[in-house]
Amino acid sequence: MSEQNAVRSDSMRRIRRLSLIMQIVVVVGAVFAELGLAWIWMSPLIVEELVVSRLQIPLADVSLDGPTRALGFLISSLPLMVIFFALYQAFLLFTGYRKGEIFTSDASRRLRRIALAIIAAVLMSPVVQAALSILLTAGAAPGRRHLVLQFSFNDYLVAALGGLLLAIALVMAEAVRIAKENREIV
């Protein structure tokens, strides 16, 4: 085996190992995200600590009965479904990498889907927070109900990361197209 082939083989072994690790991280992350969300909404005290405080709503205006928490869980699940789609695409992307499918149309398409899902989740965040603020204060007296619209610097950073991934996916798709054209010419 030539030195160049040995380097390539070693690189592919590292890519395969990292891809397997990332597949495990993706699955574990998805499970913990769902369990964590359910755990939060099961306890009024945890909802107060993690959701109400983040929305900056006075506790006196909040209702945390069972039906409200169940609806809160459903509302909070909407962006999580988008994230699950991104995680599924990441899992499939790493499956391809483990098979040696690095610069392919499928890989660039999956990367683009991940990027769009990240951007969609960030854009959903203020809407979900507004819906949660309305839900949690729906039982409050008139004049004490809240509509919270928030967009944080962290949201901006995650959206920028999504944009970066989208740009990389588009460049990768173009590289795959050019490589295909070059193979057809030769």
Each domain of the chain, given as residue ranges in start order, spans 3-185
Q: Give, for all 186 residues of the chain, the pLDDT tens digit.
A: 566 565 578 899 999 999 999 999 999 999 999 999 999 999 999 999 999 999 999 999 999 999 999 999 999 999 999 999 999 999 999 999 999 999 999 999 999 999 999 999 999 999 999 999 999 999 988 889 999 988 889 999 999 999 999 999 999 999 999 988 888 886
| Residue showing tokens 């990361």 | 161
Q: DSSP characters for the chain?
A: --HHHHHHHHHHHHHHHHHHHHHHHHHHHHHHHHHHHHHHHH-HHHHIIIIIHHHT--GGG----HHHHHHHHHHHHHHHHHHHHHHHHHHHHHHHHHTT--SSHHHHHHHHHHHHHHHHHHHHHHHHHHHHHHHHHTTSPTT---------HHHHHHHHHHHHHHHHHHHHHHHHHHHHHHHHH-
From residue 149, alpha-carbon distances to 55, 57, 139, 152 in Å are 9, 12, 19, 10
* Structure token pair of residue 150: 């928030």
Residue 185, pLDDT score: 83
d(C-alpha 8, C-alpha 2), whole Å: 10
* Closest by Cα among 92, 98, 142 to 117: 92
* Structure token pair of residue 128: 């979900």
Residue 2, pLDDT score: 61
User: Burial of 58 by CB count in 10 Å (0-12 exposed, 13-18 middle, 19+ buried)?
Assistant: exposed
pTM (predicted TM-score) = 0.87
| Residue showing tokens 């592919």 | 12
Residue 132, pLDDT score: 97
